[in-house]
Structure 1
Amino acid sequence: MTMLFEPWKQFQHSAVRQLAFSIASPNILSNIPPELSLQHVFDLHPNGFWQQQYENYHPRLLELDQNPQPLIDFLAQLKSTRLGLRFEYLMWFWLQDDMYHHFKLIGHSIQIIQKKQTLGELDFLLFNTQTQQVEHWEVALKYYLAEANLSLPHWYGLNRTDTLQRKLNHFTQKQFQFETVQDHSIQKRFAVLKGQLYLPTIPKNILDNDYLALNIPTWVNQARNIGYWGHHIPQPNYYRLQRQEWICHDATLSSPPAYWWSNGLYKSTEKEQFYMFRQASFICLNVEQL
């Protein structure tokens, strides 16, 4: 098995680990699925881009691990508990530390309003000092569970109306529609799509890390940890991750090994294996299961 680049595990403070993950982790997709119909073209940063950003930022992360108060204070501005917004704030914190990268932040959360109608909102507008180009970034933290033949229409969020295909369509049809913002001509568009993907499991194989000989699409980024999901309770011991640990788990176990299971994300106590447990629908249960 190829060693994964997961440097965030060296840090102790939970918020710093989450920040390191937000920067260093590759996108969940390695490329745009060819079956996606592109209306407005956008790109994904390659894995090496994120590894380089982490290496540049490593000294700052070490400082924050010793004194995380600047990061804590910045995140305290966020009143929502939504993980996607927390991820956006982590990216915002990093982008403002521009002595560690080659981007100048032009604007964040820019609303595009025309005749009192809101047409859309840009997450980040940046000036790339290396290429001398203006870039539009949309950032998202997503967790998708694969079903059926693993093709693009069959990756579902915890809310089944939130599918990977729908998110990608939203990128290309709506979020990347703008060519000029605040008198800046946009030359590059990037989706920063992080989080985790989950494959359906076979109980006896959950610790094998062999992805069950499934025909995984080429656009799934296998340079990162891919989890499993299912309705059964796996062995050996797993513990339930707290909500913010979905971004990056704490350095120490945040709960005892699970005895009572409910819907949520679990991690093995023995290895870096993640499991999304979902209770089967009651209509699928038979008498023997009750």
Structure 2
Amino acid sequence: MLAYSAQTTTYFEPWLNFRQPCVRQLAFTIASPNLIQHLPTELNIQHAFEIHPAELWQKYYQQYQERLIELDQNPAPLLQFLAQLKSTRLGLRFEMLIWFWLQDNPEQRYHPYEVIGHSLQQIEGAKTLGELDFLLLNHQTQRIEHWEVALKYYLAEGDYTLPHWYGLNRDDTFLKKLRHFTERQFQFEHVSSLDIQQKFAILKGQLFLPNVTAVTIPAWIQTARRLGKWGHTIPQQPMYRLTRHEWICPNTQATSAPAIWWCNDLYYDFSSQQPYMYRQPALIDFVYKCYNELHFKC
């Protein structure tokens, strides 16, 4: 366990430097670290997988920064690519942003990966066993890598250990997602004639702690990433309700007036750059279950 206090921490958040909303989201997708820095010891590992360190994502951002500046001046290539996505699910948009970055890489200029396949279904007879998000060749290591990507939002309750982190739908827990990675999504050792040599989970988004000044949190939580706050009370400072895409990264300016009428949703304080998840206790189980089923990919 380790002590955590947001007031004493400086964060690497270069996505806030861009103007175009889609470019801010792309910069966040690349530069932000995973929600965890290593696998929790409470997790029973069935099929092993790895987590990229925060320093590697910072390196990839720095190598891609020049291209992001170009896209911020002319976002047309990125907008055209994202236009292929008809769904409003944030998880799928996040996956598309990863895909854009992976394939926007002339002569391995920005990163060492070559996309071998995307959304590869594994079928045995009439049964679909699963699907791989990305199969990549890492030209630096000459290894075939399997990546699974997810954008998740979890709120801590209780003692902050792994079983006490809940998603927008309380049936979706952090523990359940990590189990799904190790039991189902990373079960494959081969794709066609190719051996999978490394497996990585790209697990980004936002974790939320109760609205208190300082807490003690598990060591597996990635503290290089700003942690949000959540609560049942309405903050005194002005906050703005975020649109769906702003859950990935808020726009440069508020897209709504300061919140007066509050509902279960994500809010943002532009002065402190602090996200706040407001929750109405009586509605948690029903409203957020419906909201999650409509808009988010598990």
Query: How high is the TM-score relative to the length of structure 1?
Result: 0.93
> After TM superposition, which residue ranges in structure 1, 4 or more long, deviate above 6 angstroms?
none
CA–CA separation in structure 2 for the residues paired with 1:89 and 1:269:
27
Instruction: Indicate the structure whose relative CO is greater, using CA pairs within 8 Å and at least 6 residues apart.
Output: 2
Matched, 1:280 2:281: yes
* 1:30 aligns with one of 37, 49, 52: 37
The answer to whether 1:196 aligns with 2:240 is no
1:138 is aligned to: 148
Q: How does 1:236-247 map to 2 (within 5 A)?
A: 236-247=237-248
Could you tell me how far apart the structure 1 residues matched to 2:77 and 2:97 are? 12
- Give the counterpart letter for 1:157 in structure 2: G
Identity of aligned residues (%): 59
The one of 44, 65, 78 equivalent to 1:71 is 78
Task: Answer yes or no: is 1:111 the counterpart of 2:118.
Answer: no
For the residue of structure 1 that corresponds to 2:267, the secondary structure is: strand
Equivalent-residue separation in structure 1 for 2:119 and 2:196 (angstroms)? 15
Instruction: Report deviation, 1:282.
Output: 6.9
Partner of residue 172, structure 2 = 162
CA–CA separation in structure 2 for the residues paired with 1:4 and 1:75: 28
- Partner letter of residue 17 of structure 1? R
Match of 2:217, SS state, is: coil
Q: 5 Å matches for 1:208-227?
A: 210=213, 212=214, 214-227=215-228
| Distance in 1 between residues matched to 2:130 and 2:241, nearest whole Å | 37
What is the identity, as a one-letter code, of the residue corresponding to 2:250? H
Q: Secondary structure at the match of 1:104?
A: strand
- Tell me what 1:153 maps to: 163
Shift of 1:144: 0.1
Q: What is the CA-CA distance between 1:98 and the residue it aligns to?
A: 2.3
Tell me, which stretches of 5 or more residues in structure 1 are unaligned? 203-209, 284-290
Aligned residues: 274
The C-alpha deviation readout for 1:131-167, integer Å capped at 9, x for no partner, is: 0000000000000000000110000000001100000
1:244-270: CA deviations, max 9, x gaps? 000000011111110111111001132
Unmatched tracts of structure 2, length 5 or more: 1-7, 285-298
**Cα distance, 1:87 vs structure 2:** 0.1
Q: Deviations over 1:222-257 (max 9, x none)?
A: 111100111110111111111100000001111111
Match of 1:205 in 2: none
TM-superposed deviation, 1:59: 1.0
Distance 2:74 2:276 in 1: 32
Q: Which residue of 1 aligns with 2:186?
A: 176
TM normalised by structure 2 equals 0.90
In structure 2, distance between residues paired with 1:38 and 1:102:
28
Separation (CA, whole Å) in 1 of partners of 2:176 and 2:162: 10
In the alignment, the residues of structure 2 paired with residue 35 and residue 277 of structure 1 have an alpha-carbon distance, to the nearest angstrom, of 29
